[in-house]
Amino acid sequence: MAVLVGKQAPWFKADAVINGNDMVENFSLDQFIGKRHVLFFFYPMDFTFVCPTELIAFQDAIAAFEERNVAIIGCSTDSKFSHWAWLNTPRNQGGIKGVTFPIVSDLAKTISKNFDVLAGEYVENEDGELEFEGEPVAYRGLFLLDKQGIVRHQVVNDMPLGRSIDEALRIVDALQFFEENGEVCPANWHKGEKAITATTDGIADYLAHRD
């Protein structure tokens, strides 16, 4: 699996559903360059089991991400029509009505492939015909982009394993703290806690004053 940290996020333009109801064409992460951090995450499929818990959890925390000027963007290999239907289905019927952040359609599976989270690949059989090995959906990949569109953090979960939104917020706080202060963030660091000056004396001071 590719490590994209430190690299420009793969470019794309794709259909998406925004504001929970509006279908748009040519949605791109380029619109956030120079303006916002981006948390771009993949999930396997609409109308499933773990996936709605994650999207609803991101929505429940949307105010916290907005306070940090972070755009939340979801993506799966479903069509924009499937996204729209799921977004307009009540939660007590398996839907995610009320989710407002954009959800990108990767129907061609090229975005998942370029971010290297596609859970399978096309191969040529002995007759020279294309077949797909694995599952034609995305793993639970999550990528934090800085304002220049550089990937600064990534994590990929297998399909049965839901992600921690609290951890995503913690990583956002750590990146923004580093960008603003130049200090690095130790293990289990949370906003408001002591960080480390990246020098020998800095780490010695931090370790000496740990609780």
Catalytic residues: 51
d(CA 185, CA 200): 15
Q: Quote the tokens at residue 57.
A: 């959890």
DSSP state of 168: H
Q: Quote the tokens at residue 78.
A: 């479903």
Q: Where are the alpha helices (DSSP H) in the chain?
A: 50-60, 62-67, 80-87, 110-114, 165-181, 200-208
Looking up tokens 């771009």 gives: 40
Burial bucket for residue 186 (CB in 10 Å: 0-12, 13-18, 19+): middle
Q: Quote the tokens at residue 179.
A: 């960008």
